[in-house]
Amino acid sequence: MQPPHWQRAYIGIGANLDDPESGVRRAIDSLRCLTDVKLVKCSSLYRTAPVGYLDQPDFVNAVVELETALEPHTLLAQLHSIERQFGRKRTWRNAPRTLDLDLLLYGDRQMKSENLTLPHPRMAERAFVLVPLTEIAPEVMVGGAGTASELLQAVSTEDVERLDDTGSNSTGDLHRSGVV
């Protein structure tokens, strides 16, 4: 039997219900416990305004870099299992959630299937993904669109705020412009 081939993968993490900062931190711990997954880097936590459906609490977001021997669909299934453990209910697009784990990138793989598109669709347009991704991997390529840091230059970051170690900041709720 050949040893597994390890791939670099990036996971977007977000939550805005039931103590989202704690939920994001616990989700990171859950990712550390997956078989055939090694946590490489973790971004800071960021408070971000909601996108799409705006009448909901702000989100807490982060991105982690993993090395994994799991194939993309298997990794996605593991991410969905963690979401369910956190009480995630898939109601409607952009709905409030206890936890959202998105497979953003898997090596340089580009694919589209019924339940998985790589790179993650719309990630190149979303500051709540690009800001934490750029913090830990500024030169990672996002499909053929450019590096994370190049893509970040093209989006508004006014609704993204880094949280300090206590999860607080100095400005309170973020402006809800819907731009992010």
Name which residue leads in pLDDT, 40 or 165: 40
Q: At what angle do helices 20-32 and 72-85 cross, to 10 degrees?
A: 140
Band (pLDDT 50/70/90 cuts) for residue 165 is low
171 domain residue, yes or no: no
- The residue segments making up the domain with residue 81 are 7-162
**Is 102 tagged catalytic?**
yes
Total number of domains constituting the chain: 1
What is residue 63's predicted lDDT score, i.e. its pLDDT? 98
Name which residue leads in pLDDT, 3 or 178: 3
**Is 108 tagged catalytic?**
no
Helix (H) or strand (E) holding 47: strand 46-48
Q: Strand 7-15 relative to strand 100-106: parallel, antiparallel, unpaired?
A: antiparallel
CATH code of the domain containing 105: 3.30.70.560
Q: Which of 25, 47, 88, 126 is catalytic?
A: 88
For 122, left (φ over 0), alpha (ψ -120 to 50), or beta? left
Taking only the tens place, the pLDDT of each residue in 37-65 is 999 999 999 999 998 877 889 999 999 99
**Is 58 tagged catalytic?**
no
2 domain residue, yes or no: no
175 domain residue, yes or no: no
Q: Strand 117-118 relative to strand 111-112: parallel, antiparallel, unpaired?
A: antiparallel
Segment 19-33 mean pLDDT: 96
174 domain residue, yes or no: no
Tell me how long the chain is.
Answer: 180
Q: Which of 25, 47, 58, 97 is catalytic?
A: 97
Band (pLDDT 50/70/90 cuts) for residue 176 is very low
177 domain residue, yes or no: no
What is the pTM for the complete model shown?
0.88
39 domain residue, yes or no: yes
Q: Which of 102, 109, 159, 164 is catalytic?
A: 102
Question: Are 96 and 29 a contacting pair, CB within 8 Å?
Answer: no
Mean pLDDT rounded to a whole number for the chain: 88
92 domain residue, yes or no: yes
Question: Are 104 and 128 a contacting pair, CB within 8 Å?
Answer: no
Structure tokens at 141: 């390529």
Q: Which of 58, 100, 126, 159 is catalytic?
A: 100
**Is 165 tagged catalytic?**
no
Taking only the tens place, the pLDDT of each residue in 67-123 is 999 999 999 999 999 999 998 777 767 667 889 999 999 999 999 999 999 999 999
Question: Are 63 and 133 a contacting pair, CB within 8 Å?
Answer: yes
What is residue 1's predicted lDDT score, i.e. its pLDDT? 54
Contact residues for 9 (Cβ-Cβ < 8 A; gap 6+): 65, 66, 67, 68, 72, 75, 103, 104, 105, 106, 107
- Cα distances from 7 to residues 4, 112, 130, 132, in angstroms, run 9, 18, 20, 20
170 domain residue, yes or no: no
